[in-house]
């Protein structure tokens, strides 16, 4: 069964420079990072690997409420 066409404009690929990737990885792994900062860093890193915000949030065990907040903050 073919997948339905996406509604809305296509999203641009998320491309991170090495320095950005290193900093996000630090925030995601550092024990003293705020939990929200660590979560955002993990989602951004996951999106840079491919996939959507929703897929990244689901992979990290987050629900729809978190997802909506993350999309607003990273848009």
What's the pTM value of the predicted model, to 2 decimals?
Answer: 0.66
* CA distances for 15 relative to 2, 8, 21, 55, angstroms: 29, 21, 9, 17
**Contact call for residues 15 and 48 (beta carbons, < 8 A):** yes
Q: Which residue has the tokens 């993350």?
A: 70
Q: What is the residue-level pLDDT of the chain in tens, covering all 75 positions?
A: 566 666 777 777 888 999 999 999 999 999 888 988 998 899 889 889 887 777 887 888 876 565 556 566 655
Cα 5 from Cα 40, distance rounded (Å): 28
Residue with tokens 């860093």: 41
Query: Which pair of tokens denotes residue 6?
Result: 């996406």
């Amino acid at each position: 069964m073919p997948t339905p066409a996406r509604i809305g404009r296509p999203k641009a690929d998320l491309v991170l420079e090495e320095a950005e990737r290193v900093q996000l990885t630090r925030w995601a792994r550092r024990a003293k990072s705020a939990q929200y900062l660590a979560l955002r860093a993990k989602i951004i890193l996951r999106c840079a690997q491919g996939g959507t915000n929703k897929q990244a949030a689901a992979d990290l065990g987050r629900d729809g409420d978190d997802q909506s907040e993350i999309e607003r903050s990273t848009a």
